[in-house]
Structure 1
Amino acid sequence: MLKLLFWNTYRKSLHEQILELKEEKNANIIALVENVGDDNNFLSGLENVSFKKATGNINHNRKIFYNSDFFNIKTIHEHGRYTIFELNYFKKNIKIILALVHFPSKLHADDDAYFSYCVSLRNNIEKKENELDTRNTVIVGDFNMNPFESGFLNATGISCTGIKSVALKYAERTISGEKFRCFYNPAWSHLGDSSRGNVPGTYYYNSSQFNNLYWNMFDQVIIRPDLLRFFDDDNFEIITSIKGRSLLKDNNGVQTIDKKNSDHLPLFFQLKSNSNE
């Protein structure tokens, strides 16, 4: 059904690398932030006339390309830090709300700013869910936040849990008489040495501050419980190589990101309507 590739390309085009990943993963949606490449050149390089760019985005460094044989995508809400799209999947007649996010660097925003962005995102997504009568919602992007930060966890923010059974049981929480819709965040399973993937994050930074995480999970995909019937945790991947070429490097025994491509690692995410996809 949905095979989405996401990458913060670090103010580069990286067209060749993205095209290789598209072929390797058979992606039918490509979501990019901080991308400065020529879109027409990129589309011609796809060698598939069915791929189109979603139009109407006020931020030209935040882009979505999609295979129009599978989907129709249109912009339904624009914000300086995110765009919300309506996606229609033709084969199953499924309507999905897809949000593409790029929150500012931690160098330029504080905790209050991130929380405010999360509240804004939640409010506008719920507005569109009500208008379109669906809770089939996916949010993807570079949040410049880790999954355990308040904007993700607080019910008035995005309201996420990293436990699938909890997300399914408490798809909507009631606190002091007010109802809050929840999301499932598979990124929790990719933190630390025992993570599902090859690396414990998507962004590495060795800070000189007292609190230093080293690896951060800034790039994430979060999903409404209504779509979890199409999702398995193995369908969420932090990509660490392209055609056998590593995106990582060894820094005196510590695995870090090779920034000759980007300072972020790409993500791949799938929703499957059946086991044969």
Structure 2
Amino acid sequence: MKAIRIVLMSLVATILVSCGTTSTVPITGRKQTLLVSDGEVLSLSSQQYSQYMQSAKASTNATNTAMVKRVGQNLANAVTSYLNSNGLSAETQNYAWEFNLVQDKQVNAWCMPGGKIVVYEGLLPVTQDEASLAIVLGHEIAHAVAKHSAERLSNEYKNQYGTAILGAVVQGAGVSEKTQALLSLGQQLGGALWTSGFSRKQESEADHMGLVFAAMAGYDPQVAISFWQRMAAQSSGSGGLFSDHPSDETRISDIQKWMPEALKYYTPKTTTTKTTTKTTKTTKKTSNTKKTSSTKK
């Protein structure tokens, strides 16, 4: 009877984990299984985003705020065009793009499902120019397009199923309480390792997609290498066993590997605008020169 019970519980686990819809991530072509719908994720993220913006302080630097919105919208337009051109026009309905610069010294930016993106002022001294900012925003947009939040939520459901089923199976097998505790600890550690490893894969995928998105929007993807070198110089993280981000060395190496692909999409359309408090330096790439507030054609 115990053996039959174990088999039945294992069968239930297989059925639960195999439920959901399978989709393909744009650019990378990776297959993913989602146990939650777009509507569920967008509803949750919208609530969290609204709560955050109620407490956040918007940047008072009009020039930098305009730059973030301009670069972000250029990327959003390029991504929308790509999705429409590749039979994914239905996906564009999930996005209501919004780009905000807030007063925070952290070197960070993030994106909610649905295209709500926040950039911290502390990031701009590291990006230094529009092209590097496009690399960051492309990365954040990629998280939304690849539905990474829905995928993580789906995996949390899978982990919950796995933990509950493991407990039932172990108890049904007559395992001692001490052994059950050890198995439970092993399950937690294994889950933490798997989750961090999965997060690194998502971050790497966002780097890949973001590089291509930046190129599609007319920003030189080659600036990504120097940008991540600057990030590495001011950070102490090194992507350990439980780290949820790739190491700086791995990140730069991967970007160099993806660069030929990104350059296929690159047609210079903009200039690089330095982020400074006194002067603005522009680099002419083509006969079209993009200024801080407008584009002269």
Output the TM-score relative to the length of structure 2.
0.27
Greater strand share, structure number: 1
Output the TM-score relative to the length of structure 1.
0.28
Greater helix share, structure number: 2
Instruction: Give the greater-gyration-radius structure (CA).
Output: 2
